[in-house]
Amino acid sequence: MITFRPLIKFDKPVTVILVDNQQAKKKKFPFTHKALKDQIALLVQSDQFSGEDGQVFPILLDNTLVLLVGTGDPKALSFTALRVTVRKALLSSLLDKVKEIEIILSQDDKTVKAVVESILIGTYAWRKYQTKKKDNKKIDMKDKKIFIAAQKKKAYEEAIHICEGVNLARDLVNDNADTVTSVYIEKVIRNIVEGKKNIFLEVLNKKEMKAKKLGLHLAVNQGSKNEPKLIIVRYNGASKKGDYTAFIGKGITFDTGGLNIKTSGHIETMRLDMGGTAAVIGTLKNAIALNLKKNILFVCALAENTVGSSAYKPGDVIRGYSGKTVEVANTDAEGRLVLADAISYVVKNYKPSRIIDIATLTGACIIALGNDYTGLMTTDDKFSRALVRSSNETDDRVWRLPVYPELKDAVKSKIADIRNLGYPKGAAGTITAAEFLRQFTYGTMWAHLDIAGTAFDEGTGRMYFSPGATGAGVRLVTHYLENN
Ligand code: BES
Ligand code: MN
Ligand code: ZN
């Protein structure tokens, strides 16, 4: 929990202080505590502390533990490094049993945001299924109180809202696939929008999908006992009508690969395959919390890709909502199928000005970009620039990959209008998937975010994220909405 108060007090068992290398060198600190200033000066003199980034140095001062956190050269300040270092300080075992912590930092908006993110995003951990040991007195981060001396409350509060959206997305991805079903996700959405007068919901279940002929979406879910759902949240935040930005999230609650079943090493984390939908829901929560004055559509395309005698088959040709037929060359390329129906349905019935789809779409994106950069694909340079700007501001990183006319050939089918598989041997798997999606946008301005690599950390955690879900995309598109 974070609390704001106007003054620096040194009244908590721990005070964390951000110090850059110029402050260390010139012995200029953002507080007046004389004894502490002298102490730091001595440490700087004896070369034990220099304010370089990554440094965490403890001082015991009366009853207070002071943790100095080095942030490096202020002219070349890396907010990523700052988040990593503040997180390191907060997770230090020195603080295991501490209930209250004070943080002292410079008051510019960017530092403020980065520190709030270090706390809320950096110390997030998925512990739902860890049984608490009785003899372990370690205090959970969630139960600690962190006090920040703040003049500008607005930046803090905004950052807190955004982090809550990020962490909601993470919770939705981290929990079991048999818990986070389409029915569960509908409940989560209904809870978020309950009582909001400017929000309207359309929910298509299997029955409505059949009536409206969303054949691709239905096919993907065919082997599952869970209901497929297309949920469309219409958020009217602007005073004018129209000009909707549509966010469309891939929501495969579990991806076995279908009859083209995934193998060991690839299937275990596939509850992450609703990461796009999770990002859309996190952004919906943010839009409400920040009271955004925009018209927005939040769309979740929910299905489960399972195996069984009723599952759809490799080689099937299926007609989707748009009327186009698709050759299912591989049942594991299911994301583009549900998205094709969702995109064409939203384009036809809601006529958005622009679409951003968010999807854990291709393993190839992980090969191309790894786990730190989301793949961004669009044919619109201006749209791309706006999203890259938001990426730079938020550290929710994207890197653009091309979509170009000749890619059409990659998704041609001999027996249907289009095929859900690209070139042989998986060449250019990420951009051929994007080209498939593009053919269902019918000229609507569109960007595609492939978060296959960024949505989930299978290892020990990277940058300032703990293992598991990261909430990739939430900060990015929230910033985009706030600034465009
Ligand atoms: N959900 C996967 C993509 C994925 C893989 C996300 C690894 C996160 C981590 C997607 O549905 C998929 O299976 N894609 C296939 C496409 C292929 C069959 C053309 C892939 O990437 O292997
Ligand atoms: Mn798949
Ligand atoms: Zn998938």
Q: Which atom of ligand 1 has the smallest separation from the CA of 335?
A: 11
pLDDT at 257: 98
Q: Are residues 214 and 329 in the same domain?
A: yes
Catalytic residue among 12, 229, 271, 336: 336
E strand or H helix that includes residue 54 = none
Task: Pick the residue whose CA is nearest to atom 3 on ligand 1.
Answer: 362
Tokens describing residue 319: 């007609």
The answer to the question of residue 155 being in a domain is no
Are 101 and 12 spatial neighbours (Cβ–Cβ below 8 Å)?
yes
Distance 331 CA to ligand 2 centre (A): 7
**127 plus 175 within the same structural domain:** no
User: Are 182 and 70 part of one and the same domain?
Assistant: no
How confident is the model over 100-116, as pLDDT tens digits? 999 999 888 899 999 99
Structure tokens at 203: 């929910």
Query: Amino acid letter at 380?
Result: D
Within a 10 A sphere around the Cβ of 106, how many other Cβ atoms? 16
Q: d(Cα 233, Cα 200) in Å, to the nearest integer?
A: 6
- Tell me the C-alpha distance between 376 and 437, whole Å: 13
Q: Which two structure tokens, joined as six digits, stand for 478?
A: 């929230």
User: Does residue 154 belong to any structural domain of this protein?
Assistant: no
What is the mean pLDDT of the segment spanning 26-48? 92
The string of pLDDT tens digits covering residues 444-478 is 999 999 999 999 999 999 999 999 999 999 999 99
- Digit-coded pLDDT (tens) for 389-443: 999 999 999 999 999 999 999 999 999 999 999 999 999 999 999 999 999 999 9
Q: Which of 267, 277, 332 to mutate to test the pocket of ligand 1 (most atoms within 8 A of CB)?
A: 332
Check residues 133 and 322 and name the one with the higher pLDDT.
Answer: 322
- Ligand approaching nearest to the C-alpha of 365: 1
- DSSP code for 414: S
Alpha carbon 400 to chain centroid, angstroms = 17
* Domain end position, chosen among 149, 183, 208: 149
- Cross-sheet strand order for the sheet of 445-450: 199-204, 229-236, 295-305, 245-255, 354-359, 445-450, 374-378, 398-400
Say how many C-beta atoms besides its own lie within 10 A of residue 368's C-beta: 19
Q: Are residues 98 and 217 in the same domain?
A: no
- Nearest atom, ligand 1, residue 260 CA: 18
Average pLDDT over residues 68-94: 95
Does the annotation mark 475 as catalytic? no
SS3 406: helix
283-302 mean pLDDT: 98
Rounded-to-integer distance, Cα 207 and Cα 374, Å: 35
- Is pTM beyond 0.95? Reply is yes
Note the pLDDT of residue 268: 98
Residue 134 has pLDDT above 80, yes or no: no
Distance of CA 141 to the CA centre of its chain: 21
Q: Which of 262, 294, 389, 400 is flagged as catalytic?
A: 262
Residue 396 C-alpha to ligand 1 middle, in angstroms? 21
**What are 387's two structure tokens?**
């999203």
Burial of 96 (0-12, 13-18, 19+ CB in 10 A): exposed
Query: How confident is the prediction for the chain on average, in pLDDT?
Result: 96
- Residues 296, 421, single domain; the answer is yes
> Are 213 and 290 part of one and the same domain?
yes
Residue 32 lies in a domain: yes
246 in a domain, yes or no?
A: yes
Tell whether 240 and 331 lie within a shared domain: yes
CATH number of the domain at 226, please: 3.40.630.10
| Domain boundary pick from 122, 149, 176 | 149
For residue 218, the model assigns a pLDDT of 99
3-state DSSP call for residue 302? Answer: strand
Helix 153-174 / helix 275-289 crossing angle, nearest 10 deg = 150
Last residue of a domain, which of 100, 119, 149? 149
Q: Which atom of ligand 1 is nearest to the CA of 364?
A: 21
| Residue 313 and residue 179 in one domain | yes
Which of 184, 263, 274, 216 lies closest to 437, judged by CA?
216
Examine the domain organization and report whether 117 and 24 are in the same domain: yes
Query: What range does the domain containing 52 cover?
Result: 2-132+139-149
Instruction: Output the CA torsion sign for 192, 194, 197, 200.
Output: positive
Could you tell me if 254 and 345 lie in one domain? yes
DSSP 416-429: SSEES--SGGGTTH
Residue nearest to atom 7 of ligand 1 (CA): 363
Which residues are registered as beta bridge partners of 201?
233
Which residue do the tokens 């912590």 mark?
101
Q: 114 and 156 in contact (C-beta within 8 Å)?
A: no
Instruction: Give the phi and the psi of residue 429 in degrees, each rounded to 5.
Output: -60, -30
Q: Report the separation in Å between the CA atom of 293 and the middle of ligand 1, taken as the mean of its atom positions.
A: 36
Our count of domains for the chain comes to 2
* Residues 123, 180 within the same domain: no
Residue 298 host element (H or E): strand 295-305
How, if at all, do strands 245-255 and 295-305 pair? Answer: parallel
Q: Is residue 352 part of a domain?
A: yes
DSSP 3-state of 205: coil
Residue range 19-42: average pLDDT? 92
DSSP string over 107-123: --HHHHHHHHHHHHTTT
Instruction: Please give all residues whose beta carbon lies within 6 A of any atom in ligand 1, as ranges.
Output: 255, 257, 272-273, 330, 332-335, 360-364, 421, 429, 452
CA 249 to centroid of ligand 2, rounded, Å: 15
Q: Say yes or no: 52 and 174 in one domain.
A: no
Total length of the chain: 484
37 annotated active-site:
no
Could you give the CA distance from residue 57 to residue 113 in angstroms, rounded to a whole number? 23
To test ligand 1's pocket by mutation, which of 255, 361, 362 has the most ligand atoms within 8 angstroms of CB?
A: 362
Give the DSSP letter string of 434-463: HHHHHTTTTT-EEEEEE-TTTSEE-SS--T
Is residue 4's pLDDT more than 90? no
Ligand nearest to the CA of 364: 1
Report CA(232)–ligand 1 centroid distance (Å).
Answer: 25
Residue 361 lies in a domain: yes
DSSP code of residue 12 = S
Q: The domain spanning residue 14 has which CATH number?
A: 3.40.220.10
Could you tell me the distance, in angstroms and rounded to a whole number, from the CA of residue 333 to the centre of ligand 2?
A: 5
